[in-house]
Amino acid sequence: MTSDIANAAVSQSHQRESTPIDSLPYELLSHVFIFCFLNHAHISWHWSPCARPSTKEAPLLLLRVCRAWRDCALSTPLLWSGLTICTPTVFCRTIVPYVKAAKEWLARAGSIPLSIVLVYDRANETDRGEIVDAALADIFIPSRTWRAVVLIIREPRRSPRVDSILTLILRNAPELEKFSFDVSGIVMNENIQNFSIGHAPKLTALTLTASSWANGVSVSLETDQLYGIRELRLQWLECSNDCLDILDRCPLVEVLHVSVRGRNPHTRQASIRTLPQLRTFHVVAQTKADVDTLFWGLTTPALNEFSMNHNGNLVEVIPCPHLAQLFARSQAPLMALSLLNSPMPEDNIIGCLLHVPTLTTLSGDGWVFRSAIMEKLTPCLDPIRVPLCPNISTVKFTGEHTDFTAAAAMLRERWSISRQNLNKRARRAGLKVTTPARVEMRPDNRFKFRDCPGMQECEKQGMVVWFI
């Protein structure tokens, strides 16, 4: 809508005498412009608003309406404080014009902290590498202060230009809040990719990404403790030991996303480190080999949400006792557990559930909802059987499922017992379960699920089934 207004203003600017918006003070007009910028169709948030330059969107569009709007836009630093420079498109085969224009764009922001998303593939600039390097040198200069930086630079080998950019950004970064670097494309036999972060008191979010398909990159964080890091993403690092070494320097992390590949598993660490404030923990792995090392090396007493997804088509049952051991050590108040494509033995999953009595949301594919596991979650009045995880109120069927019979029976019994006035004997035994009020699944599973005994009756009585 804001773009339509501005486009209409461009076409009518020479036909009108004056409108109410002409009487707005520059301060109010600047706020209107900022909202236009935040509604940019191609905005890249990556922790902060960074827009691709387009004459059809703010802020460049605002320069074309009239002199007053142009002057106001140019004197609104926030409009120019975020920029996205992406790989070439079918309309422009090189990023050279964009990196050259970035110098003037960012200069309009004045002295306020800047945000940038830079996606640069050296293979697309084989004949223009020196030109791009010179333009990048004009962007990353010592006098600029950065608030959020996302660098995705794919090169066949380590580049002095990239190293100098990293040094300039990270050596002294008093305003830096978010930093992300994708090291994909650097061959393993060059050098280990080391990062040294200097003075960065406001740094709260850090992402380090290697390649999930090419030769691995061993990443090392050469710095003192980073007590300010609250969100940490370690994507496709070579092994869990790299992750654990970085976690040693970010002990107060609250949200942790880890992707490991297990291509180069090392001997597991001799010590177990505690992450006292970790509340959200997401794990993606290509194999289980390196996940064991990761779980073995951690204790997470405040963990509230955990998910694990094996990024591959694993079909064999593979023992994974270390996850249950992590839960047993931590005794965390876990509320949400998701296991996708994780073919662990039934007793391993039951062991996990045994140590998370506070669980309210269970999510997974057919490996999670097998009969033996559902039996442990199913309450019974005669004889009295107290189930594991009595507080489950939300069940999410994700991934592939071939049979809902056992899961439906578990839900039916929980629904029925939770709505009854239990006798004294059942109460004394501690038989108390929460009503499973919400079930989620894919639309193509709806008939298979509703055909299970009792499910349609539960829906009629108020159980909410979402098809998403």
Q: Indicate whether 329 pLDDT > 90.
A: yes
168 vs 405: CA distance, rounded Å: 59
What is the model's pLDDT at position 213?
A: 46
Q: Indicate whether 1 pLDDT > 50.
A: no
Q: Indicate whether 37 pLDDT > 90.
A: no
What is the model's pLDDT at position 132?
A: 78
Q: Indicate whether 217 pLDDT > 90.
A: no
Q: Are 343 and 313 in contact (CB under 8 A)?
A: no
**What does the radius of gyration of the chain's CA atoms come to, in whole angstroms?**
27
Name the more confident of 414 and 2: 414
Name the more confident of 184 and 8: 184
Q: Indicate whether 170 pLDDT > 80.
A: yes
What is the model's pLDDT at position 442?
A: 92
What is the model's pLDDT at position 221?
A: 66
Checking 98-102 for CB contacts under 8 A at 24+ apart, the result is 98/53, 99/132, 99/135, 99/136, 99/139, 100/135, 100/138, 101/53, 102/135, 102/138, 102/139
The whole-model pTM stands at 0.85
User: Which of 22-31, 161-170, 288-297, 332-341: highest mean pLDDT?
Assistant: 332-341
457 vs 324: CA distance, rounded Å: 35
Weakest mean pLDDT among 93-97, 235-239, 363-367, 429-433:
93-97
Q: ∠ CA 267-270-273 to the nearest 5 degrees?
A: 115
189 exposure class (CB count in 10 Å sphere: 0-12, 13-18, 19+):
exposed
Give the three-state DSSP class for 86: coil
Q: Indicate whether 39 pLDDT > 90.
A: no
If you ran DSSP here, which 8-state letter would residue 329 be given?
A: H
What is the model's pLDDT at position 241?
A: 75
383 exposure class (CB count in 10 Å sphere: 0-12, 13-18, 19+):
exposed
User: Which of 147-151, 220-224, 283-287: highest mean pLDDT?
Assistant: 147-151
What is the model's pLDDT at position 127?
A: 63
Weakest mean pLDDT among 23-27, 304-308, 419-423:
23-27
365 vs 310: CA distance, rounded Å: 12
Q: Residue 122: which pLDDT band, with cuts at 50, 70 and 90?
A: low
What is the model's pLDDT at position 189?
A: 46
What is the model's pLDDT at position 89?
A: 52
Percent of the chain with pLDDT over 90: 36
Weakest mean pLDDT among 81-95, 110-124, 344-358:
81-95
Name the more confident of 233 and 25: 233
pLDDT, average across residues 397-408: 92
Q: Indicate whether 441 pLDDT > 70.
A: yes
What is the model's pLDDT at position 191?
A: 46
Name the more confident of 377 and 248: 377
Give the distance between the most distant pair of CA atoms in the chain. 86
What is the model's pLDDT at position 172?
A: 85
Q: Residue 439: which pLDDT band, with cuts at 50, 70 and 90?
A: very high
Residue 370 to residues 64, 84, 103, 135, 306: CA-CA distances in angstroms? 63, 47, 59, 58, 20
154 vs 85: CA distance, rounded Å: 14
Name the more confident of 98 and 301: 301
Name the more confident of 98 and 185: 98
Where do the domains of the chain lie? 1-80
Weakest mean pLDDT among 229-238, 306-315, 327-336, 440-449:
306-315
Weakest mean pLDDT among 127-136, 277-286, 407-416:
127-136
